[in-house]
Structures are given as structure tokens and as C-alpha cells.
Structure 1
Amino acid sequence: MRKPLRKRPAAELALALACVCAPAGCANPADGAEGGVGQDTQDLVEKVDRDPEIAAMVPEDLAKRGRFTAAVNPSSPPIKFVDDGGHITGFTPELVTAAARMMGLDVVMQQTSFDALIPGLEARRFDIVLSINDLADRREKTDFIDYLQTGTAILGAASLPQDEVTPEELCGLSVGYVRGNVQQDLVAEAGKNCGRSGGEPVKGTAFQDINAAILAVQSGQIDTAWGDAPSISYNAENNPSRYKELYREISGPYGVGVNKQDTALRDALRAALRKCVRDGLYQKLLDDYGLTDYALPDMPLNEGPADDRA
């Protein structure tokens, strides 16, 4: 049985989203997609201590620097978002912050557009990227520490006549997606299938982040938003009067991306993340953010799908 996602106070949710949407220029953010702060675990993360064995694995240049940079597109509550204080938070930032503390390092969260994450990592503008699908084409230059199951899901307005819509049933509907994410290809494929079957075309619209797409659903600009499953589920379950989840498929993992040349950083970070599992912090974060359905405690390397349809 699926565990309901934990609800947050309405005022807190509205404030959190207002900060998330501000950089993207979202209109009426308090009326749209919502996220909340993991208050039950913030104190636990702050109390995490340096682990000497893991710290010894940290590359010398990083140890001297005392920090590493994590690029994140904080637009997918509860995975990653900006809280009412303007801080990047969520399940993944808290988990990685705890791992950094075990490594004896600070982590600097750098807000980045989604489509700039992998190019920026390859260009060495930051050390790691957070919460990105582990896909075959991305593994050519990036190693992924897979830490959470994900997949795709489709959200519609509560007023939409359909209660269920599969990817094969999108003909004639308008669909929002995040530019550069896997759903962009899935929307294009759905459109081709409609063309082959003689159905009405799928009207795809690209957005900078999933919150903007969800707000467009609410305003009636588009019929549906197709995004990563945890964020779609979170919004639908916390806002049933506004949205409903029309389709969900759990099909692959989220990974923390590390440049393939940075094997020492990868191994030290993975060791710290796995210690978060052993210490129980990983499970507490899952509980706090309502993500127990998506647990992936083994933290495997590069075990995403063989093709890019996840």
C-alpha cells in the first residue's frame, strides 16, 4: 500500500513555492505547485559528525578547499526546492549535506537551470549535480550514485474529465514538460504515435521547471504536466482539490552525478551516502518527505536503464 505523502501547513507551502518560482518568473506562485520544509530532520543533519575513515578518502585538493559545489535545479518539491528563507532544501540537499559533513566538508548549493547541469559538470563549473535521471547517454561522461527510485507521472487539473491517461492516450491534449528532461522525448514519441494512429496531435510545451508546468495546468493554459514521479505525486496528493495524478510509472533511479574523472570524490561521497543509510538518517529523510515508495538504499553505481526511456 502506498504511504500518503506528508502534508505541510498551507502558509508554509505557499511561502516555499513563492521562493521556488521567483527565479523562473512564475505568476501567482502561492496558487500553484507546493513544497514544504523537512523540519523533522534538519536538526539531525546539522548534528552529523565527520567520519575519519570517510574523510581520508576525500581527494587532497577538496580537503584543502574544505568544500565542494553541488549544482541543483531546485524546482521539484519534495526532492529539491527553495524554502521561505531563500535556502535550497529538500530530500536530496539534506541528504548530500549530511554526506558532506561525514566527509569533513561543506557543500555549496549552486542553483542552475536543468539543461545546464550536465554541460556544467563536464565543463568543471561544479563538482557534482543533484537529482538527475541516470540515463545511458548521460553515463558516457558522468558516473551516477543512484540513491532514489523515480519514473514519470502525468498530472492534470482536478476538473479534467479523464481520471486516467496513459502516454498512448494523450492525443488531442496539451502537455507541459521540463526542457531537456526525459519527458521531452516521451512527449515527442507520444505525438508520433498519435500521428501514426490518425489521432489528434499532442501539443507539447516546454517549461524551465516542473512548477511552471504545474502552474500552467492550474491556470488552464495546458491540460497536463508530465514530469518526474515524486514531484507529480507530491503535488497531486497535497492538492487534491486542484490536481489529480493521471498516470505513474516507476522505471529508473535518480542519481547524484559526478564527472567520470573524479573517481575519488565519487567513492568518498558514495561511502558517506551509504553510511547515511546505515545510521538511519536516509530512512528518516524518506519518512519526513513522504518518499518511502521510492527508497533505493543500496546506492548502486550507474544502474539506470540501458536506454533513455526512463
Structure 2
Amino acid sequence: MTLFRSALGSLVLAATVGASTTVLAQNMEPATYDAPAVPEIAAMVPDALVTPGTLTVPITAYGEPLSVFDAQDQAQGMIIDLMGAVASTMGLTLTTMRTQSDGTIPGIDAARFDLAPGVADIPTRRAAYIVVPYFKSGTALLLPSGNPKNVQSPDDLCGLTVAVAKSSQQEAMALEQVDKCVADGKPEPSLLSIADSSLQLPIVSARADASWIAMAPASYLAATSPDQFAASGAQFAYDMAILMRTDNEDLGRAVIAALDHIKETGVYDDILTHYGQSETSLAEFAGNVPAN
């Protein structure tokens, strides 16, 4: 099956990453941190939230260590802890809503969410939304154990079946690879589009030769389940960003102030380190929020 081409402007990040393929999360227990409300930052938060006093965000199951759902369908992982620290600093309670990868942007557009913490910082996104990057991200190829097709990079995907999350940045990259294979006179990859981020399942069921996912989950799976998985082709590609509608400038400024505060107090880097993602740390959070 060859996937139809979708517009780059509608893409959402399906999975993101830590830089290292050797530094892994030791567990998925929540990080321990202290992020009390800061009155000056809380005063910046606009009244027009989805639910007063609450920061409502969509969460997709990107995989360990970024975000997973437990047996009670409660979200946990690095993204949730970072958003929890930001919300606390702003004097808000965090509420997460499980969302498939292709439902994030429509939910923001329809004002069902206050912000989305799983979006790639790319120029087309900044042209239409407020975007605040908050850690480095990238991609990798998840493969069957032993890498039987000897896939070392995206250039080796020609003629193979590749699973991607629908409406994701990885989907965009895979579509570019389709064009590259054709231009090189090679068989084009067949893209298997999946509506959520459980992209290890096509590998387990042998429906795909490779899944194009985040570096961190790919590394985690390859290290913890080497009898099932391998990983290759890891690369930084973009920053993970928090996205808001353009009419939420006040919220955008409050989010940046909260990120700056948890960076200054060490909470931000403590959370990243807890999940084995210290190399993804950003020195500053330079979003496209208009100045006051």
C-alpha cells in the first residue's frame, strides 16, 4: 500500500527523542520535583482556558520514556512531568486527554485543548500557530531483532514496508524518502499509516519491515527487548514544541515564563535527567510569541 501525500502544513510530531542511543530511562516512575506556583507567572495566565484553573492538554502514546498510559489509562512520562511542572508554576492543575496523533491539531483549532505539547517546530507550523520549543527531538528506525534487511539509514527503505504515524512529521520524512527512492530509480517504500503511535506493533506482527519513530522509544525498545527489536538511523531533526492558537498570546508568554523558571530552578533538567534525556535540554525557549 502506498500512502497518499498529505499537506506538510498539517503535520504533527508523532514521536520525539533523546539524543543518545545508550542513555535510557531507568523506569517510568514520575520524576520528583518541586514547582510551586509563582504569583507573577500565575498572574499572566489568561482567564479564557478550556476549564478555569486547569491546563488541558492532549497526549498521544509516543512510547517510553516520553509518554505512555498505564492500566488505568493515566498518562505518565517525561512530557507529562514537564507539562505538570509548567502548569504548577502557572498556578494551574494539569489535565491530560488521550488523543491520537491526527487529532491534536483539530483539537487545538476547535479550542478543546489549551495547548499541545507534541508538535514539531517547523516553519509551516510557526506561520499558523504560536510555537514554543522545549526540548530537542529526532527520529530513528525501529526494526526487527537482528535487522534482517540490513537497514542502516532511510536510504535503505526503498522497496520495504514502513510504518508511520498518521499526520506525523515522520510521515512527511517518509514521503520525501519515497520521492528520493523513485528519483534514484529504486522501488518506492510502501507506507503503512497508523492512527496512533503504537508503532512497535507492525514490527511484532511482521506487517512492516521498519517503523519510523522517535529516537528515545526506538532506543528504549531495542535495549530492553533485543529479542524483538533493533534500531538504526538515529538523527536529530527538529525541536519538540508546545503549540497554541494565535489568539492565545498571553498564554504563550506565561508558558515561556514558566519554562524559564523551571530551567532556572533546575526542575527542567532534573526531569530530563530522570528519564535519561539530558542531552535533549535546551538553553532557552525562543518561541514566536509576539512581544507585549
Q: CA deviation at 1:164?
A: 4.3
* 1:88-128 deviations in Å (ceiling 9; x for gaps): 12111111111111111112111222112112212212110
Aligned to 1:235: 221
Residue 51 of structure 1, aligned match among 16, 33, 38: 38
Structure with more of its chain in helix, by fraction = 1
Per the normalisation by structure 2, the TM-score is 0.85
Equivalent pairs counted in the alignment come to 270
Contact 1:147 1:297 in 2 (8 A): no
Distance 1:194 1:64, change over 3 A: closer
Specify the alignment match of 2:25 in structure 1: 6
- Which residue does 1:166 correspond to in 2? 153
Q: Identity across aligned pairs (percent)?
A: 26
The one of 173, 193, 199 equivalent to 2:186 is 199
SS in 2 for 1:210: coil
1:298 CA drift (Å): 1.1
Matching residue's letter, 2:29: G
The 3-state SS of whatever aligns with 1:65 is coil
Partner Cα distance (1:189, 1:279) in 2 = 41
2:170 is equivalent to residue 183 of structure 1: yes
* 1:255 maps onto 2:241 in alignment: yes
Is the partner of 2:58 in helix, strand or coil? Answer: strand
The CA RMSD measured in Å over matched residues stands at 2.2
Contact 1:63–1:105 (CA under 8 A) maintained in structure 2: no
Counterpart of 2:9?
Answer: none
Separation of aligned partners in 2, 1:274 and 1:162: 45
Please report how far the alpha carbon of residue 299 of structure 1 lies from its aligned counterpart in structure 2 after TM superposition: 1.7
Shift of 1:163: 4.7
CA contact (8 A) 2:35 2:267 kept: no
**What is the distance in 2 between the residues matched to 1:184 and 1:62?**
31
1:38 aligns with 2:38: no
Q: Which amino acid aligns with 2:242?
A: V
1:132 corresponds to 2:119 = yes
Aligned match of 1:106 in 93, 98, 114?
93
Structure with the larger RCO, 1 or 2 (CA within 8 Å, 6+ apart):
2
Deviations 1:214-244 (A, max 9, x none): 1111221211000222222222233223211
Q: Which residue of 1 aligns with 2:104?
A: 117
**Quick one: distance in 2 between partners of 1:272 and 1:286?**
16
Q: Name the aligned partner's letter for residue 208 of structure 1.
A: A
**Match of 1:14?**
none
CA distance in 1 between counterparts of 2:82 and 2:147 reads: 36
1:60 deviates by 3.4
Unaligned runs of 5+ in 1: 9-36, 304-310
* Whole-angstrom distance in 1 between the partners of 2:50 and 2:242: 20
* 8 Å CA contact 1:66, 1:104 repeated in 2: yes
Deviations 1:271-303 (A, max 9, x none): 112211111111111111111222123122159
Alpha-carbon contact 1:57-1:267 (below 8 Å) kept: yes
Shift in CA distance, 205/302, structure 1 to aligned 2, threshold 3 Å: farther
Deviations, residues 141-196 of structure 1 (Å, cap 9, x unaligned): 21111111112211111133245422222112110000000121222222222223
Amino acid at match of 1:274: D
| Counterpart Cα distance in 1 of 2:114 and 2:103 | 13
Name structure 2 gaps, 5 residues minimum: 1-18
